[in-house]
Amino acid sequence: QVTLKESGPVLVKPTETLTLTCTVSGFSFSNARMGVSWIRQPPGKALEWLGNIYSSDGESYSTALKSRLTISKDTSKSQVVLTLTNVDPLDTATYFCARIDRWLGDFDYWGLGILVTVSS
Amino acid sequence: EIVLTQSPGTLSLSPGEGATLSCRASQSVSSGYFAWYQHKPGQAPRLLIYDTSRRATGIPDRFTGGGSGTDFTLTISRLEPEDFAVYFCQHYGSSPTFGQGTRLEIK
């Protein structure tokens, strides 16, 4: 059974760095076909893809956030980490991690999401 | 970047009725990378349809996806109480994009 779970702070101050962790189970990070993505949804707005990480060919990022965003993985802990620097109230959103199937282009398993508020 | 626009924003129907949800792309897209999801409050989004028309594992056959080019649809026949949720479409191009969602509510 594939599961993903997001964890991290629910409140972050402007200009700080947001670090979220996605803990996965039920699939192997060494699977070249599957990766892990971060996706967010600001209140009342559409979902926004942030970036992916795969086992073999590294990461890809949203153009809009590329300068502030890093996605990394710790295979030994089955975790994928999102780091977003210099956050702004506009970064307030529910952040999801999801497994992405690069052959089919879909997100077949998602976490519940974590609501992160950026406020002083 | 391709923009996906869903309509209607809200659809009010009764159990037993049929529903048709639309998703229009700002330019023609490959139907091989088009998906639909269901999202209920407090739950993880659930993949319903991938590759435009293929049902994901465990999805009942009352859910049907179709379309090509710029126009895609999700049809739900015979609405069940558990079908009332938010539905969103997604395309995987140079970067994945999502529609803004259609809320299917009980009339």
Of the two residues A31 and B70, the one the predictor is more confident about is B70
- Return d(Cα B25, Cα B68) in angstroms, integer: 10
Nearest to B56 among A45, A60, A108 (CB): A108
d(CA B28, CA A71): 30
Say which residue, B49 or B1, is predicted with more confidence.
B49
pLDDT tens figures, A16-49? 999 999 999 998 878 889 999 999 999 999 999 9
The 10 Å Cβ neighbour count of residue A2 is 12
Q: Which pLDDT score is estimated for B91? A: 95
What's the pLDDT band for B30 if we cut at 50, 70, 90?
confident
What pLDDT shows up at residue A77? 92
Residue of B98, B102, B103 best to disrupt the A interface, most CBs of A under 10 A: B98
Identify the pLDDT of residue A55: 83
Identity of the residue in A46, A104, A105 whose CB atom sits nearest the CB atom of B100: A46
**A 57-116 near B (Cβ less than 8 A):** 60, 62-63, 96, 98, 100-101, 104-113
**Which pLDDT value is given to residue B45?**
97
- The string of pLDDT tens digits covering residues A44-77 is 999 999 999 998 778 999 999 999 999 999 989 9
3 state DSSP class of A92: coil
pLDDT tens string B8-23: 999 999 999 999 999 9
| DSSP of B43-83 | S--EEEEETTTEEPTT--TTEEEEEEEEEEEEEE-S--GGG
What pLDDT, on the 0 to 100 scale, is given for residue B12?
97
**Which run of H or E residues covers position A67?**
none
Whether residue A45 and residue B98 make contact (CB cut-off 8 A), yes or no, is no
Which CB contacts under 8 angstroms, 24+ apart, belong to A43-47?
Answer: A43/A92, A43/A93, A45/A93, A45/B100, A46/B88, A46/B98, A46/B99, A46/B100, A46/B101, A47/A96, A47/B88, A47/B90, A47/B98
